[in-house]
Amino acid sequence: MSYRDEQGIHTDFKERMTYSDYLDLDAILNSQNRLSDHHDEMLFIVIHQVSELWIKLTLHELEAAVQSIQEEDYQPAFKMLARVSSIQNQIIKAWDVLSTMTPSEYLGFRDYLGNASGFQSYQYRLVEFALGYKTPHVLKIYEKDPELKARLQEAYEAPGLYDVAIQALAKEGFEIDQSVLERDLTETYEANDSVERAWIEVYRDPERYWNLYQLAEKLVDIEDWMQQWRFRHMKTVERIIGHKQGTGGSSGVGYLKQVLDHYFFPELWNVRTSL
């Protein structure tokens, strides 16, 4: 069947919304503004813009999942968290495309970036906050925009995904230390014995604690993908700029290697050894 045989296809859009209108494609496709005339700067911009769109969807899903878990409505939360893992896989694939850029090609336009750096991605910071990694010094980066700073501050002070998961353990009757349940949410989460004991019981009796068991595995999936993303990021940066300082002033590869050692949900990994 050819296009000409499709008699029902709409072709008159003078008074109708088109695909381009719905997606606001003109705005999106006119946002790749190169500062140099180097061919590969387009690749660099597109990869980072696409990643930011995926991160936007990640935040959309994480925020809804947190609310669902708080309401003990687990099934929608599981679907949202599974979707986050699929998104993470897509973002990781983007590094494979960016790694086709050689050091010489990147040097052809790197100076045009000035101090702009992926380190300044506020959406990525929101993801870290949602996963419980709270670093106060990064908030200073966003003082230029009071509205954005306020949004980050709100997320910085809000319970993250793991906080509501621990609250779910307490609601199920597990004895969780009050120091954890009432902890300062602006501090990065650290492992706690009472939380580990609770997760051990969940893993020992998954049929009894099926929702919590599924939740635990969804969290492990997300952290696993996050670590893979961080590793691919680090290796891509090392492949392109070696151990040079990042454009934003960070140590580059050194900083990226350091954050590889951080665990968002430490007890869920400790459980593997304890069981």
pTM for the structure as a whole = 0.92
78 annotated as ligand-binding: no
The two three-digit tokens of residue 194, written as one number: 């009472």
Q: Tell me the C-alpha distance between 26 and 246, whole Å.
A: 32
Neighbours of 71 (CB within 10 A): 11
pLDDT of residue 252: 81
* Four-residue CA torsion sign, 199, 205, 206, 212: negative
Four-way CATH pick for 41-274: 1.10.10.60, 1.10.10.10, 1.20.58.480, 3.30.750.24: 1.20.58.480
Q: Tell me the C-alpha distance between 52 and 88, whole Å.
A: 12
Rounded (10°) CA dihedral 104, 106, 111, 116: -160
141 annotated as ligand-binding: no
46 annotated as ligand-binding: yes
Q: Which ranges of the chain have pLDDT less than 70?
A: 1-6
Among all chains, which residue has been given the structure tokens 């670093």?
Answer: 135
The two three-digit tokens of residue 41, written as one number: 């700067």
CA distances from 236 to 97, 203, 226, 245 (A): 10, 36, 15, 14
The two three-digit tokens of residue 66, written as one number: 């947190």
Asked if 142 and 44 count as a contact pair (C-beta separation under 8 A), the reply is no
269: exposed, middle or buried (Cβ count in 10 Å: 0-12, 13-18, 19+): middle
